[in-house]
Amino acid sequence: MVLIIRQKQNNPDKQKLSDVIKISLMAMDVMMKDRVAPSLYGLALFIDLDGVTARHLMQLRPHIVMNIVHSWQGCYPIRLRSINFINAPKYVHIGVAIFKSFMNEKMRQRLHVYSRDETVMHKYFKDIPVNIRPIEYGGTNGTVQEMIEYTKKLVEENRDWLIDSEKYKVISKQ
C-alpha cells in the first residue's frame, strides 16, 4: 500500500493539526479495514511538502510529533517500509530532526528526505509500480482528485463503523 499525504492541503490558519491527524487516521482505518497487505507486506508513506510554510512547521510541537511517531512505530498494525518526505524545502530539516529524535534506529534508516528537484522524482518512487501511482506522481492510476473522491466516499460509506469503533479505547495503567 502507498499512502501520499499532501501537506499543503492543510491550512494551518484554519485547521488544527489534531483534526487533520484524526481525519487521516479515520481514512487509514477504513482503507485497512479489509486489507491485510499493509500489515504483512508494508506501507510506503510519502509526505509531499510542496507548499509547506513555517506555519505548518509551528504546528509540529514535540509532544505531537512524539505521539505521531509512537503510533506509527509501535501501535498501528502496519509495517512502515519507508517514510519519504518529498518536495522538501531547505528548512524542512528542522521538522525532520524532531521526527528522528523520537524514532528508533530501524525507523530512522527508513526515513528519506528528497528536495524539490524534480529530477529525483523517479528516485523516490523507484520501488513503487507506475500502475499504483497517481498521474501527478508519474503514474497511471488516475488523478489525485479521483483518489481523494474515492477515499472520501469510502469513509462516508463506513461512517457507522467509524462511530462504533470510537467506543473502544485502550487504557494505559502506568
Instruction: Domain of residue 114: give its range.
Output: 2-165
pLDDT, the chain, mean: 83
* Locus of grid cell 483518489: 147
Give pLDDT, residue 4: 86
pTM more than 0.85: no
Q: What is the CATH number of the domain that holds 31?
A: 3.40.525.10
Please state the domain count of the chain.
Answer: 1
Angstrom distance (rounded) from CA 60 to CA 64: 6
pLDDT digits (tens, 9 = 90+) for 89-124: 887 877 788 889 899 999 999 888 888 765 556 677
Angstrom distance (rounded) from CA 168 to CA 25: 15
Helix ranges (H only) for the chain are: 17-32, 37-40, 54-58, 62-70, 93-101, 105-109, 121-124, 144-157, 159-165
pLDDT digits (tens, 9 = 90+) for 8-23: 777 878 888 888 888 8
Let me know if residue 9 belongs to a domain.
Answer: yes
Element of type H or E holding 111: strand 111-115
**72 near 80, Cβ under 8 Å?**
yes
